[in-house]
């Protein structure tokens, strides 16, 4: 079993690379962003709650996010491993994930961080807005707030796993295939 976290600022290519990793390693892909968008699309109470945070570029509160993640993991016990995309985004979420996996005698094996400069992130997300219709991608000030939230609230998660010797940084600029190869090189060292 391999359990990976794909980590990085908004627009760093987590969703893009997760799709390729899932195909190669046959892992279950769990993206908290996708789960929230699914709930929003169905106008569920959880979706409406998440929307109020996502539209401003803020994080959805930990208790909401962790509860939803736990449901998804517990509904899929017989898998080759998980790739967590966009989760954990805070240290309490990282603690919750470690505890959840430990209940099954399992653990996170590696966090892979995609390192991309801010200006490239803004360019990519404004580009994605034209096709995705995502409200959180349309306004540059909201994008910049998401990047700030990442720096202030999310980067400590990298240190949390780095202290355990379970984190690697990968340069996230280049072709999708080049970046995928860099990620695979790290995974192959497990």
The binding site for ligand B4P (CB under 6 A) comprises: 8, 10-16, 32-33, 36, 53-54, 57, 59-60, 65, 86-87, 89, 93, 124, 127-128, 136, 146, 176, 179
Catalytic-labelled residue, pool 20, 56, 72, 134: 134
14 tagged catalytic: yes
Query: Minimal distance in Å, beta carbon 55 to ligand B4P?
Result: 9
134 tagged catalytic: yes
Nearer to ligand B4P, 87 or 158 (CB): 87
Query: Minimal distance in Å, beta carbon 75 to ligand B4P?
Result: 18
Nearer to ligand B4P, 5 or 78 (CB): 5
Nearer to ligand B4P, 78 or 177 (CB): 177
Nearer to ligand B4P, 42 or 165 (CB): 42
Cα separation, 162 vs 181, whole angstroms = 21
Cα separation, 92 vs 89, whole angstroms = 9
Pairing of strands 28-31, 4-7: unpaired
146 tagged catalytic: yes
Q: Which residue is nearest to ligand B4P (CB)?
A: 33
Catalytic-labelled residue, pool 37, 51, 89, 124: 89
Nearer to ligand B4P, 42 or 105 (CB): 42
Query: Minimal distance in Å, beta carbon 143 to ligand B4P?
Result: 9
Query: Minimal distance in Å, beta carbon 154 to ligand B4P?
Result: 8
Catalytic-labelled residue, pool 20, 72, 128, 166: 128
DSSP string, the chain: ---EEEE-STTSSHHHHHHHHHHHH-PEEEEHHHHHHHHHHTT-HHHHHHHHHHTTTPPPPHHHHHHHHHHHHHT--SSS-EEEES---SHHHHHHHHHHHHTTT----EEEEEE--HHHHHHHHHHHHHHH--HHHH-HHHHHHHHHHIIIIIHHHHHHHHTTT-EEEEE--S-HHHHHHHHHHHHTT-
Phi-psi region of 116 (alpha: psi -120 to 50; beta: other; left: phi over 0): beta
70 tagged catalytic: no
Catalytic positions = 14, 89, 128, 134, 146
């Amino acid at each position: 079993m391999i359990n990976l976290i794909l980590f990085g600022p908004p627009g760093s290519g987590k969703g893009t690379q997760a799709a390729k990793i899932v195909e190669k390693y046959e892992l279950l892909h769990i993206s908290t962003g996708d789960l929230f968008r699914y709930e929003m699309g169905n106008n569920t109470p959880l979706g409406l709650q998440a929307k109020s945070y996502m539209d401003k570029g803020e994080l959805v509160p930990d208790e909401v996010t962790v509860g939803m993640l736990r449901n998804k993991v517990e509904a899929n016990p017989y898998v080759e491993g998980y790739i967590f995309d966009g989760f954990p985004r805070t240290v309490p979420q990282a603690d919750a994930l470690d505890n959840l996996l430990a209940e099954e005698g399992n653990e996170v094996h590696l966090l892979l961080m995609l390192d991309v400069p801010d200006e490239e992130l803004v360019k990519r997300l404004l580009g994605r807005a034209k096709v995705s219709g995502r409200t959180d991608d349309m306004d540059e000030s909201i994008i910049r707030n998401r990047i700030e939230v990442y720096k202030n609230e999310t980067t400590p998660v990298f240190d949390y796993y780095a202290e355990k010797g379970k984190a690697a940084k990968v340069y996230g600029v280049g072709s999708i295939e080049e970046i995928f190869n860099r990620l695979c090189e790290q995974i192959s060292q497990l």
